[in-house]
Amino acid sequence: MDPRRLARRVKLVALDVDGVMTDGGIYLGAVDGAPMEFKRYDIQDGLGIKFLQQAGLHVAIVTGRVSEGVRLRAAELGVADVAQDSQARKLPALREICAARGVTLDEVAFVGDDWPDVAVLRAVGLPVAVANAVPEVLALAAVRLERRGGHGAVREFAEWLLRERGEWQAVTERYVAERADAMVAR
């Protein structure tokens, strides 16, 4: 399994949330009697997701928990494909997303960290594990990231994938140019 060859066929990048997009910690509390849940997201991961989208890749979020914070983060990033299943049935959810996008599982990269991700990692074309993944997930990964979930792992993967596809330079240059032009227009 050559990860570089697999990178070129990826059309959709799917991400777990807890332990991948976040460090896995959850802040629970109440405000005026209403239960509240908070998660911390890495801002550089968000830009990595934007770079993937600018390269024409679909990005999906597939998580085994239901959280308003995930919906808000997905909306902020423009990620339309979000599956939140409290029973952590991630593979059926990902199959539905693939069917809707006309993508096969062989054309999917999935970034995971724990047991709820195993079925998906076994099924996709490019299985990826964050540094804090459990040993069983690491064993399935074609790509093992150096960064931990919630601490730049998604950005690390985005950079790796786009570099392997030969798209990193063009995407980042376009990003910088768009911001430079915006400044001049003011």
Q: How far is CA 154 from CA 33, 34, 123, 124, 183, in A?
A: 35, 32, 20, 17, 28
Closest among 90, 84, 94, 113 to 23, alpha carbons compared: 113
Q: List pLDDT tens digits, range 147-184.
A: 999 999 999 999 999 999 999 999 999 999 998 875 55
Identify the three-state secondary structure at position 110.
strand
Q: List pLDDT tens digits, range 106-156.
A: 999 999 999 999 999 999 999 999 999 999 999 999 999 999 999 999 999
Predicted pLDDT of residue 55: 98
CATH number at residue 136: 3.40.50.1000
4: pLDDT confidence band, cut at 50, 70 and 90? Answer: confident
Task: Find the domain containing 147 and state its range.
Answer: 3-185
When the pLDDT of each residue in the chain is averaged and rounded to a whole number, the result is 95
Q: Are the C-beta atoms of residues 14 and 97 closer than 8 Å to each other?
A: yes
Domain total in the chain: 1
Q: Are the C-beta atoms of residues 14 and 21 closer than 8 Å to each other?
A: no
Read off the pTM.
Answer: 0.94
- Residue identified by tokens 């952590």 is 88
Both tokens of 15, joined, read 């991400």
